[in-house]
Amino acid sequence: MRIVIASDHAAVALKATLTAWLRERGHEILDLGTDGTASVDYPDYGYAVAEVLASGRADRGVALCGSGIGIMIAANRVPACRCALVSEPLSARLARTHNDCNAIAMGARLIGDDMAKACLEAFLSADFEGGRHQHRVDKLTHPEVPA
């Protein structure tokens, strides 16, 4: 799978850990940075992950910042991106199976390496169920869809 990943300065270490872990599992990684601890603006990295997903250059995305909240909000400003903030594997799996999310966000200051890996594994191994969820997901992109 081709995975795009980006972080702000607060999540550089977690990004490095997850990038290496994903590569060990055979995934192709598009690392958008940042690569240092100098302060950067998380919206720039959230937008970048979302734009790569929207262009079709990656199958899934991972957005990381201190809390995961800001970068998730930024990513979700791009309509083709559905990014869920997750902190444990069940929410990561449900983000895929029920909401057809193509990205997850995590907070490096709130989640450890092992839990982040567990979330990512749950997210990447799940498929969208469609069915009763499809109509609701359609409304996420097109609010005018009738009930």
Catalytic residues: 65, 98
Total residue count of the chain as it appears in this document? 147
d(CA 51, CA 101): 14
- Which residues are CB-contacts of 112 (< 8 A; sequence separation ≥ 6)? none
d(CA 96, CA 84): 9
- Which residues are CB-contacts of 11 (< 8 A; sequence separation ≥ 6)? 64, 65, 66, 106, 107, 108
Tokens of 115: 């839990």
